[in-house]
Amino acid sequence: MLKDKIAARIPTVRVEEGAALPTFVAEPGDYRALARLLRDDAETPFDYLVCLTGVDRGDTLGVVLLLESTGSGQRVFVQTGVAERERPVLPTVSDLWETANLNEREVYDYLGIRFAGHPDMRRLFLRNDWVGYPLRKDYKIDGAVNPVPLESDESPDVTTVYREDGSEETRALFDETDYVVNIGPQHPATHGVLRFRTALEGEIVKKVDVHCGYIHRGIEKMSESLAYPQILALTDRLDYLAAHQHRHALCLCLEEALQLEVPERVKYIRTIMDELNRLSSHLLFWSTLCMDLGALTAFFYGFRDREKVLDILEETTGGRLIQHYNVIGGVSADIHPNFTRRIKEFIRYLPPMLKEYDRVFTGNVIAQERMKGVGVLSREDAISFGVTGPSGRASGWACDVRKRRPYGVYDRVDFDEILFTEGDSFHRYLVRLKEIEESLHILEQLVDNIPPGEFAVKTKPVIKLPEGRFFKSVEGSRGEFGVYIESRGEKTPYRLKFRSTSFPLVSVVPHLARGSKIADLIAIGGTLDYIVPDIDR
Amino acid sequence: MFDFSIITRWIDQLLRGVMPDAAATVVECVLIGLALLLGYAVIALALIYVERKVCAWFQCRLGPNRVGPFGLLQSVADMIKMLIKEIIEIKHVDKFLFGLAPYIVIIASVTAFACLPFGRGLQVLDFNVGIFFLIAVSSIGIVGILLAGWASNNKYSLIGAMRSGAQMISYELSIGLSILTMVVLSGTLQVSGIVEGQVDGWYLFKGHLPAVIAFVVYLVAGTAETNRGPFDLPEADSELTAGYHTEYSGMHFGFFYLAEYLNMFIVAGVAATLFLGGWMPLHVPGWAGFNEVMDYIPSIAWFFGKVGVMIFVIMWFKWTFPRLRIDQLLRLEWKYLLPINLLNLLLMVIVVVYKLHF
């Protein structure tokens, strides 16, 4: 047993049996040893860091890791914290899981915890001149301390590395002779306000430094002062192409915590909506990727077809991009009478269009040359970086939440999890095209079988979550989207963290782009298909 | 078939009748210059309109349809806007070179434009090394593009200019060699001589296999030479925003824009001249009646018709294919097009020496 093994090796670790998952609580001194032990465990190596959350518990500042063993699917929480508030230091785990790199920078940004041994301890989302750490509970929102800045933020060319013994070292980000080009924040291929500082050698990319935060809205901070039904409105604004799926995740998490059983009809409707959302997202992916690679006509074809999905969504939910349809205990309105008919029409309409896509782009020799062998991501790296969704499946990692932790009615429908082992841009592209077909297949099975019944159950006017920690994830359009809630039994969450799908995708860009051409950087970014508001949150 | 030299000779005699010879020459030069610039501008506007309509049809859209009937006046309105727009002065640029670059581009393009045979007797520059002169002046444009990228003090512009330099110098070879192949067949460098040589059939048919190969190579290299998709790397908008002309505004940008479209016209015009007989109607040896009917269509219509078809093909490329990467672009030229071209030249020499052509 895992618990016995840990008790034998690191006796100071406490085990808290939570509602669903066990939590290992470690002292800061043992935290790294525990993390290493879990990752290198022979039977169930916890190789996937799902979610790294920084929490201010009042007496301690700490982090919570949610780890998964991709082989068995077992999940555990690991928790640690320091009492020191002036200069809190925790050991880093960024060398164990690559995805911890940016996540620890996020924690540093929000809570001021310095991670000893982290190679690049800079702020990530907030400005460099921001005073204080907003997710600390003693942080006061004050316009006098942090006025609205009228000057642009200088990006320093150096970073700081903290050591266990408290010393610091300053490191340069780029060489003196590097030709550094800003790709973004205003750039057509970054699909939003994201910035890559790219060191070039001629056409070859030497290094990419990711700058986030241009669209940071502090959604996690806002959530701490909002009631649960109010928070629902924010989920749609994370990844606007997976609005429905993200809201679904939060609803599932809350319903599980409240032990609320939703009617069958709701499950069907939610599943159908999720798939429609996935279709619209993948069609947009296809369009924008073609545009990034210079095939402008293809862009219009994709948008022409995506329009039809949006029309279906609009009729029932009233929204085209931002849906606001899921509510706690159901959905906000019953489906439109045209809903099933139009879906059936669409299922007939799309397959010939997909053939056209193949003729226009997939089969094109230039398109294949541009994508094949470009930005190859190995399975190990995909897991280490936490690259889930179609991008992870192109590398051979079976990470589909719909298959591994079914929700909605996914356990009752027949669909294939598209897997490739090549891991290059072309297969990331293919996975999405094939997933469009699978989504149609899922819709086909569901659309005629929506059971009658209520579209929502009654909930209390004031929703209070029981004390504890809850995590629930769904398969978003571009990966595993999770909601982590720490509740102290109040009507607002104590800490709410969204496990973003795009954040790991953008963290892997420097790794994939190193040594490739500028044009490859665009192809890699295009096939990873990140959405910037989901990164910045 | 109507010969435009009747009109030009009449104007010449008229002028010489009322003023001394030297003054007449000056007036003629000014008139020709004005006519050229006017033709240049009108063709550019027409091409911009056509491109927008063609691309709209490819993309299931309508294209310009608000200004004038069928949006015909849209590009005129755009031109007026471009003319009255402020030319923004950018800090830290090399002002002289920054200002000079668009003029070099436009001058190269206008001079090359002047070499085209628009119709029977309707050609400005026609001398014994005409086609060689055309290649030479059209290559000057690359200097303007490099200067624009260098003087802009913008990293994107510089990358775009360097790409453009590598690309144009490479593809110049293919253009030159495929033109040389056709010169071997025609036996003259004079543009009018090349056109006259096709009176009994276009070179594309007369030169059969080597001519067809040269035509395909020319079409690919010509598209690359004009920086159009799928070879639009110098201004790859999804990579370099706008490449070498990122920092230009107003009419300075307008010059680059005009030159881009006119270069497309020139490339199509040269293709039409070398392979499709220029203004020469479609003649089939032995079909006297058919040839006579063909002669009723004015030569200028033949020329613009052929150029139109070529331009449509080039536009078709752009709106269908994705963009190449720089290494793929150079590989295509140096590893495929250049060896094919050299062999093809040899093949053409054999064809001509042993009189295997029609």
- Contact residues for B176 (Cβ-Cβ < 8 A; gap 6+): B135
How many Å lie between the alpha carbon of A300 and the closest alpha carbon of chain B? 6
Q: The tokens 């929506």 sit on which residue?
A: A450
> Looking at residue A320, which CATH number applies to its domain?
1.10.645.10
Task: Indicate whether A131 and A225 sit together in one domain.
Answer: no
Give contacts of B328 with chain A, Cβ < 8 Å. 366, 369-370
B229 Cβ under 8 Å from any chain A Cβ: yes
Task: Indicate whether A302 and A374 sit together in one domain.
Answer: yes
- Residue in A with minimal Cα distance to B54: A297
**ipTM for the predicted complex:** 0.82
**DSSP letters spanning B218-276:** HHHHHHHHTT-TTS-GGG-HHHHTTGGGTT--HHHHHHHHHHHHHHHHHHHHHHHHHHS
Give contacts of B59 with chain A, Cβ < 8 Å. 296-297, 299-301
Give contacts of A360 with chain B, Cβ < 8 Å. 320
A393 found inside a domain:
yes
Q: Quote the domain boundaries for residue A120.
A: 2-139+159-171
A121 found inside a domain:
yes
- Residue in B with minimal Cα distance to A359: B320
How many Å lie between the alpha carbon of A188 and the closest alpha carbon of chain B? 5
Q: Do A517 and B321 touch (CB under 8 A)?
A: no
pLDDT tens digits along A45-54? 888 888 888 8
Confidence band for A19, pLDDT divided at 50, 70 and 90: low
Average pLDDT over residues A488-510: 88
Q: Do A203 and B159 touch (CB under 8 A)?
A: yes
A439: tokens are 């989504």
Average pLDDT over residues A381-399: 89
A212 found inside a domain:
no
> Looking at residue A93, which CATH number applies to its domain?
3.30.460.80
Average pLDDT over residues A330-353: 89
Give contacts of A296 with chain B, Cβ < 8 Å. 55, 59, 229, 319
A209 found inside a domain:
no
A31 found inside a domain:
yes
B61 Cβ under 8 Å from any chain A Cβ: yes
Task: Indicate whether A453 and A335 sit together in one domain.
Answer: yes
Task: Indicate whether A259 and A165 sit together in one domain.
Answer: no
Confidence band for A18, pLDDT divided at 50, 70 and 90: low
Structural domains of chain A, count: 2
How many Å lie between the alpha carbon of A97 and the closest alpha carbon of chain B? 31
Q: Do B322 and A520 touch (CB under 8 A)?
A: no
pLDDT tens digits along A434-481? 999 999 999 888 888 888 888 888 888 888 888 888 888 898 888 889
B128 Cβ under 8 Å from any chain A Cβ: no
Interface contacts A/B by beta carbons within 8 Å? 84
Average pLDDT over residues B128-134: 86
Question: What pLDDT was estimated at residue B343?
Answer: 92
Residues in chain B: 358
pLDDT tens digits along B21-65? 888 888 888 988 898 888 888 888 888 899 889 889 888 888 888
Question: What pLDDT was estimated at residue A282?
Answer: 92
Position A204, amino acid: I
Task: Indicate whether A244 and A360 sit together in one domain.
Answer: yes
Give contacts of B324 with chain A, Cβ < 8 Å. 366, 369-370
Residues in chain A: 537
How many Å lie between the alpha carbon of A310 and the closest alpha carbon of chain B? 18
Task: Indicate whether A381 and A458 sit together in one domain.
Answer: yes
A195 found inside a domain:
no
A353 Cβ under 8 Å from any chain B Cβ: no
* Residues pairing with A53 in the sheet: A64
Edge-to-edge strand list for the sheet holding A468-476? A468-476, A479-487, A495-499
Q: Do A364 and B236 touch (CB under 8 A)?
A: no
pLDDT tens digits along B321-333? 888 888 888 888 8
A390 found inside a domain:
yes
pLDDT tens digits along A160-199? 888 877 788 888 888 888 888 888 788 877 777 888 888 8
Is the preceding omega at residue A119 within 30 degrees of 0, hence cis? no
Task: Indicate whether A285 and A353 sit together in one domain.
Answer: yes
A194 found inside a domain:
no
Task: Indicate whether A166 and A237 sit together in one domain.
Answer: no
Model confidence, pTM? 0.87
